[in-house]
Every structure is written in structure tokens, then in C-alpha cells.
Amino acid sequence: ELIDQPLLMIAGSKADSLYMSEDAFAKAAGTTDKELFKIEGATHIETYWVPKYVDAAMGKLTPFFARTLASDRS
């Protein structure tokens, strides 16, 4: 409930730490503007350097930040 801002969480579907992201996402009750994006087939470490997984993450991050950090956002 402490998170009251837009939330985008990104995790690999094969990440050993995926359960932690899913748990934190479920507990993020302070915002309705939230998404857990799972990169299919990726482990945690691969999301940092495998081009297709990095591209998938950037495909979510770029529009998320464009929308949530817009100067006219109130």
C-alpha cells in the first residue's frame, strides 16, 4: 500500500526470482495503475543482455515513462 505511483515491474518468465516480483506486485495495493510484464523465456540475468529480451523490456519502459513522466501529468 506504500506504492501510490504508476508501477511497471518487469521479470523473466524463467527467472528464479519471479516469485518475488509476483508477490510484490500483488501487495502493491496503493495504485491501480500497475503492470507486471513477464518476458517469455527469459531468466533474470538474460533480461540485462540478450538483445530480444532487452528489446522487449524497452518496448514497455519507453511508453511507460513517456506516459507517466509527461510534463502535463497532474
> What whole-number distance in Å separates Cα of residue 50 and Cα of residue 48?
6
3-39: pLDDT as tens digits: 999 999 999 999 999 999 999 999 999 999 999 999 9
Closest CA to 36 of 1, 6, 62: 6
Q: Is residue 60 part of a domain?
A: yes
Q: Is residue 73 part of a domain?
A: no
Report phi then psi at 12, rounded to 5: -75, 140
pLDDT at site 70? 79
Q: What pTM was computed for the model?
A: 0.89
Please give the residue range of the domain that contains residue 57.
7-67
Q: For the chain, what is the domain count?
A: 1
32-72: pLDDT as tens digits: 999 999 999 999 999 999 999 999 999 999 999 999 997 66
Q: In whole angstroms, how large is the CA radius of gyration of the chain?
A: 13
> What whole-number distance in Å separates Cα of residue 29 and Cα of residue 39?
23
